């Protein structure tokens, strides 16, 4: 743990005591106004859970503080140029991430996320996942700039999990074990998923092995249909309980679990003795819906549960790592939260302003910082730009290179009028092949690469930018880009 995190913890016991004294008044105010769009200046999700009698025992976010008093680091990045690291904190206590600190530190090079700090004070930090029984390791670390977002008018970064990426903590403090009750929520990018196993966040085995039915309780998000599934084509919020993803009481189809793909999706799983629930909603607006609330699955091995208390992000309990997704924030609680508590947390989430370029809500203190979107380029090699007559320009930079491969980034900038969608094309250099793209959709035809906007970043206001990135085999060059828009 960093020195700044250690210093913050010295004040944590006092904050817990104060929170307990204020619990009755706080929960009353929150639950009466749980569906409003404004956010109380002195409350964040873990304050709400504590007031409901189910305190957070793990709290992870790369975008904002999850306690109103938290003023420590959110995550740590490591840059490739010299392998040095930097903790990325908040702009003020209880506030948004200081993305500008990451941008300046990673300028001209590339960075990965090495640690996602636990804000609960229990040191349940997430670090590079080790090998497991399903796949070797250590797993890959997330590209620190691959999931840019806006939050209440402030720039932030999520955790972009490509297949092969994973974080874990097998030596936790306070996480539920056995059949003890717990709750958890996470905010995911509902448009970034696949049918691989398994994009999870939550409770898993402490030995990174498949230890049998009922040894996990984690949120899963994706559209795999090997085990359980819901209505439509997915993605679905399901519970990974080990040796099965469950969408309800049945082992396979539970039609009440709907396809849910909001750009920012709230996903909730909670469980206690022979009872569990799935809830979800739009993290930008509206209320939560309950997709399942009942007894444990009608398959042997899940009543009682045998949870072990590790924490995973991006993989299955045995380190299955074929899935993809994007994580912004999440917590795990001690005890089974009430629906009313979770509804108040959802109101806090929607007030935080995911995807919003403007402020207007308070996150536990005055915050200052950038109010424009996009990703800082700062690449080592700048490329040419497309013409402005088509409504947009595109600028290329090589952000990292190694023997046999490189990482590129393209900034798409709107002209004097807004664009609703954009397409960037260029000719690949000799021997170049693109292996992965984020924040865009790739097609290739011969040596021509074409990237179209993703569903969430096609709309670009006048004179502002968005970015996409890619990994490629071969030697980097300076391509000529063409940008067209509609």
Do residues 299 and 389 share a domain?
A: no
Mean pLDDT, to the nearest integer, of 154-175?
Answer: 97
Do residues 387 and 245 share a domain?
A: no
Do residues 387 and 345 share a domain?
A: no
The total domain count for the chain is: 2
Do residues 165 and 295 share a domain?
A: yes
Q: Which helix (H) or strand (E) covers residue 328, if one does?
A: strand 325-333
User: Alpha-carbon distance 237 to 34, whole Å?
Assistant: 23
Answer yes or no: is 362 within a domain: no
Q: Which helix (H) or strand (E) covers residue 319, if one does?
A: none
Mean pLDDT, to the nearest integer, of 413-433?
Answer: 93
Do residues 321 and 450 share a domain?
A: no
Mean pLDDT, to the nearest integer, of 190-200?
Answer: 95
- For helices 23-32 and 339-352, angle between their N-to-C axes, nearest 10 degrees: 70
Do residues 103 and 35 share a domain?
A: yes
pLDDT at 389: 44
348: phi then psi, degrees, rounded to nearest 5: -65, -40
User: Alpha-carbon distance 75 to 292, whole Å?
Assistant: 33
For residues 310 and 206, is the Cβ–Cβ distance under 8 A?
yes
**Per-residue CA distances from 478 to 380, 395, 427, 429, 467 (Å):** 11, 10, 10, 9, 17
Q: Among residues 332, 352, 372, which one ends one of the domains?
A: 352
Is the peptide bond between 482 and the residue preceding it cis, with omega within 30 degrees of 0?
A: no
Answer yes or no: is 107 within a domain: yes
Least confident of 42-46, 133-137, 346-350: 42-46
Partners of 130 in the β-ladder: none
Task: Tell me the pLDDT tens digit for each residue of 289-316.
Answer: 999 999 999 999 999 999 999 999 999 9
pLDDT at 255: 97
- Looking at residue 416, which CATH number applies to its domain? 2.60.40.290
Q: Identify the CA nearest to 321 among candidates 188, 191, 131, 50.
A: 131
Do residues 314 and 400 share a domain?
A: no
E strand segments, 117-243: 127-128, 148-151, 154-157, 159-161, 167-169, 182-188, 200-204, 217-222, 236-240
pLDDT band of residue 394 (cuts 50, 70, 90) is very high
Do residues 132 and 231 share a domain?
A: yes
Q: Among residues 307, 335, 352, which one ends one of the domains?
A: 352
- Looking at residue 337, which CATH number applies to its domain? 2.60.120.200
Answer yes or no: is 358 within a domain: no
Do residues 418 and 296 share a domain?
A: no
Q: Among residues 352, 369, 396, which one ends one of the domains?
A: 352
Answer yes or no: is 76 within a domain: yes
Mean residue pLDDT of the chain comes to 86
Task: Tell me the pLDDT tens digit for each residue of 75-91.
Answer: 999 999 999 999 999 99
Answer yes or no: is 299 within a domain: yes
Do residues 100 and 147 share a domain?
A: yes
For residues 384 and 481, is the Cβ–Cβ distance under 8 A?
yes
User: Alpha-carbon distance 127 to 380, whole Å?
Assistant: 28
Q: In the predicted model, is pLDDT for residue 151 greater than 90? A: yes
User: Alpha-carbon distance 447 to 433, whole Å?
Assistant: 9
Mean pLDDT, to the nearest integer, of 374-393?
Answer: 44
Answer yes or no: is 411 within a domain: yes
Active site residues: 242, 318
Residue in the block written with tokens 């795990």: 332
For residue 390, the enclosing domain spans 381-485
Do residues 408 and 478 share a domain?
A: yes
Is the peptide bond between 237 and the residue preceding it cis, with omega within 30 degrees of 0?
A: no
pLDDT at 459: 86
Answer yes or no: is 232 within a domain: yes
Answer yes or no: is 368 within a domain: no
Verdict on whether the full-model pTM lies above 0.85:
no
pLDDT band of residue 390 (cuts 50, 70, 90) is low
Task: Tell me the pLDDT tens digit for each residue of 119-145.
Answer: 999 999 999 999 999 999 999 999 999
Do residues 386 and 346 share a domain?
A: no
Q: Where are the alpha helices (DSSP H) in 112-158?
A: none
């Amino acid at each position: 743990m960093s020195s700044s995190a250690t210093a913050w913890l010295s004040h944590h016991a006092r904050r817990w005591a104060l929170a307990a004294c204020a619990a009755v008044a706080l929960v009353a105010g929150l639950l009466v106004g749980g569906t409003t769009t404004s956010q109380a200046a002195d409350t964040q999700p873990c304050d709400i859970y504590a007031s409901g009698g189910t305190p957070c025992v793990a709290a992870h976010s790369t975008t904002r503080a999850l306690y109103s008093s938290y003023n420590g680091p959110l995550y740590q990045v490591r840059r490739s140029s010299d392998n040095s690291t930097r903790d990325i904190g908040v702009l003020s206590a209880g506030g948004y991430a200081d993305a500008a600190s990451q941008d300046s530190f990673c300028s001209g090079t590339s960075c990965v996320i090495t640690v996602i700090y636990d804000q609960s004070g229990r040191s349940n930090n997430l670090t590079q996942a080790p090998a497991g029984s399903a796949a070797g390791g250590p797993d890959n670390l997330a590209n620190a700039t691959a999931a840019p977002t806006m939050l209440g008018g402030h720039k932030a970064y999520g955790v972009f999990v490509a297949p092969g990426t994973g974080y874990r903590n097998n030596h936790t403090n306070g996480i539920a074990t056995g059949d003890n009750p717990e709750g958890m929520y996470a905010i995911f990018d509902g448009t970034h998923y696949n049918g691989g196993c398994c994009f999870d966040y939550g409770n898993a085995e402490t030995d990174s092995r498949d230890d049998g039915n009922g040894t996990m309780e984690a949120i899963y998000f994706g559209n795999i249909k090997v085990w359980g599934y819901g209505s439509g084509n997915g993605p679905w919020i399901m519970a990974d309980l080990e040796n099965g993803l469950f969408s309800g009481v049945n082992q396979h189809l539970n039609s009440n679990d709907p396809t849910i793909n909001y750009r920012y999706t709230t996903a909730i799983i909670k469980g206690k003795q022979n009872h569990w629930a799935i809830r979800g909603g739009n993290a930008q607006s509206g209320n939560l819906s309950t997709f399942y609330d009942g007894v444990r699955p009608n398959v042997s091995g899940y009543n009682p549960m045998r949870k072990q208390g590790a924490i995973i992000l991006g993989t299955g309990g045995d380190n299955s790592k074929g899935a993809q997704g994007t994580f912004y924030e999440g917590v795990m609680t001690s005890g089974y939260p009430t629906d009313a508590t979770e509804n108040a947390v959802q109101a806090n989430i929607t007030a935080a302003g995911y995807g919003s370029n403007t402020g207007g809500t308070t996150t536990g203190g005055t915050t200052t910082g950038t109010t424009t979107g996009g990703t800082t380029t700062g690449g080592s090699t700048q490329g040419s730009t497309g013409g402005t007559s088509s409504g947009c320009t595109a600028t290329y930079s090589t952000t990292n290179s190694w023997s046999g491969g490189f990482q590129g980034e393209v900034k798409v900038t709107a002209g004097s009028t807004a664009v609703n969608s954009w397409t960037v094309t260029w000719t690949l250099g000799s021997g170049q092949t693109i292996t992965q793209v984020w924040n865009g959709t790739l097609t290739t035809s011969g040596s021509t690469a074409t990237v179209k906007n993703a569903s969430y970043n096609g709309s670009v206001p006048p004179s502002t930018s968005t970015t996409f990135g890619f990994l490629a085999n071969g030697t980097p060059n300076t391509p000529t880009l063409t940008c067209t828009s509609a």
